[in-house]
Amino acid sequence: MTLLAGEIYLLRDKERDQVEVYDVITYRLQRRLTVPNVGLFTVMTSCEHNRCMYIGDCVVACVHRLDVQGAVTRWAVNDKPWGLSVNAAHNVLVTCHVVCKIKEFSSHGDLLRELTIPNDVIAPWQATQTRSGQFIVCHGIGDDPVNRVCMISADGRHIVHSHGGQRGSDTDQYCHEHLRLAVDDNEFVFVADSDNRRVTLLSPTLEYVRQVVSRDQLKGEPSCLYLDTRQRLLYVAVYEYEKGKWRGGHVAVFSV
C-alpha cells in the first residue's frame, strides 16, 4: 500500500488487476491495474518526484516500476527484495532480507551501490535513509535472538543507535514476522510490530516515545505503513487473523 498523486494504491494477491487505486478522500475504487509476469509481490512504495510506484517481487527477484499512466517496466535485483523505500535523491533502496544487503538503484534500475550491513543485523525487513545519509533498519524473525530497529552509519559498517533486543512484548521489545517503518520529516520513526499488533513511535535517536496505535485499534496484524506527512495521516494495512486462519484485511487510517 502507498499513496501517489492524491490516490491510494493497494496490492492484491491475484493474477490480474493486482493494483487497486482508490480516491484518497472518498476511499472509493477508481480503477484496477495489471502488472504482467508477476511471481510474488512482497512490498510496494512510491515516488512523487518520478510519479511512479515500485513493487518488489521475491520470486522473480526483481522490482516492477509502474507509472501513474499504467506503463510497466522491471529490473533485476538478483536477490529477493523484501523492503523498498525512496531516499532524498529519489533513488530506490532495496532491502535484501536473505543476504542482509541494501542495494541502491536509480529510478530505472541502474545499480548505484550495494551495502553489506553489520553481521548482527540479521534478517533485515526494510531500510530507509535519513537526510544525513544514515540508514534506519528493522530486523529479526522467528527465533532470532534480536528483534530491533537500528540506525546504521552511512557506510553500512556500524550501528549508531538501536531500540529493541530480545523478542517480547514490553515497550522496549518487538515480536514480529514482518516489521515495517515510516519516517516523518523530523525523522521520528513509526514501527509496525506485527505480532504485538501495535505501532510504536521512536525519536530520531531511536528512543521510545509512545505507542501510536494499540492492539484494540488495529484488530489485526499490521503488515505495512504509509505516512502522509502533509496531512499527518498514518495508513496501516492490517491482516485479519482468527482461529488460525487469515480472514481478510483492511486499511486503517489514523491522525498522528
CA distances from 70 to 7, 52, 75 (A): 14, 9, 17
Over range 171-176, report the average pLDDT. 85
Cell of residue 256, nine digits: 498522528
pLDDT at 62: 97
Task: Name the DSSP letter for residue 60.
Answer: T
pLDDT at 13: 80
Amino acid at 198: R
Nearest CA to 148 among 129, 132, 170, 131? 170
Confidence of residue 88 (pLDDT cuts 50, 70, 90): very high
What is the set of domains in the chain, with CATH numbers?
2-255 (2.130.10.10)
What would the pLDDT profile of 198-233 be if each residue is shown by its tens digit? 999 999 999 999 999 999 998 888 989 999 999 999
Per the model's pLDDT, the better-predicted residue between 195 and 44 turns out to be 44
Judged against a pLDDT cut of 80, whether residue 244 lies above it is answered with no
Confidence of residue 246 (pLDDT cuts 50, 70, 90): low
What would the pLDDT profile of 50-73 be if each residue is shown by its tens digit? 999 999 999 999 999 999 888 999
Confidence of residue 143 (pLDDT cuts 50, 70, 90): confident
Q: What is the dihedral of CA 128, 199, 67, 36, to 10 degrees?
A: 100
Question: Counting Cβ atoms within 10 Å, is residue 152 exposed (0-12), middle (13-18) or buried (19+)?
Answer: buried
